Amino acid sequence: MSRILTLSSQVQACCPTNAEPAIARETASEISGMLKALADPNRLQILAIISSSEDQEVCVCDLTEPLNLTQPTVSHHLAKMVSAGILEKQKRGTWSWYRLNSSAWQELAGFFQFTKV
């Protein structure tokens, strides 16, 4: 690392660097896509409501009141999380039911454990 050699080099250049990405660009994009779909207080509350619900699933109308959001906004949040792979949607009758995609969640949890301090 050149910064250690600063004193001995005429030009005190900073960074020859290893220049290695250290994580695949694809992986970074995939994970960041899921994180982006989570990075909102209302969405975190949606997850909390799901996991504290009796059957581990909710419909849209379960959420509008506790979140104090309109129905289209709630639908939008849910759709984003589905398309990021965090939630799964199942339509039964008139209702749409949303539950956690456990493998996606495990992937995220794994990322935070694996990328240790």
Give the residues lining the site for DNA (CB under 7 A): 6-7, 10-15, 36, 39-40, 42, 59-61, 68-73, 75-80, 89, 91, 93-96
In the complex, the smallest distance separating the C-beta of residue 23 from DNA, rounded to whole angstroms, is: 15
Tell me the residue ranges of DSSP E strands in the chain.
58-59, 87-92, 95-100
CB 98 within 8 A of CB 85: no
9 binds, among a second copy, DNA, none (CB under 5 to 8 A by kind): none
- Distance in angstroms (rounded) separating the CA atoms of residues 34 and 45: 16
- Distance in angstroms (rounded) separating the CA atoms of residues 105 and 31: 11
Q: Which is nearer to DNA, 30 or 113 (CB)?
A: 30
Q: Which is nearer to DNA, 91 or 116 (CB)?
A: 91
57 binds, among DNA, a second copy, none (CB under 5 to 8 A by kind): none
Q: Which is nearer to DNA, 48 or 76 (CB)?
A: 76
In sign, the C-alpha dihedral spanning 114, 112, 101, 25 is negative
